[in-house]
């Protein structure tokens, strides 16, 4: 999902500051192994094991 689409889904404003904030959070999730960056600006959540 693109960060702009994610902002719309989360009912955030689609101004560049909000979108860039989401992009940095998504990149952090990639570093932690919770998401995958398919191409620049496009992220996919990985499945979380049930507890």
Report yes or no on whether pTM surpasses 0.85.
no
The residue to which tokens 């955030």 are assigned: 12
Distance CA 21, CA 3 (A): 9
- pLDDT at residue 35 tops 80: yes
Output the CA angle 38-6-45, nearest 5 degrees.
Answer: 45
pLDDT tens digits, one per residue of 13-31: 889 998 999 899 999 999 9
pLDDT in the model for residue 49: 66
Query: Which whole-number Å values give the CA distances from 50 to 3, 26, 47, in the listed order?
Result: 26, 21, 9
- Cα distance between the two ends of the chain: 26
């Amino acid at each position: 999902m693109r960060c702009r689409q994610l902002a719309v889904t989360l009912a955030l404003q689609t101004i560049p500051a909000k979108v860039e904030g989401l992009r940095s959070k998504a990149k952090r999730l990639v570093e932690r192994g919770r998401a995958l960056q398919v191409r620049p600006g496009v992220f996919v959540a990985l499945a979380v094991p049930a507890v």
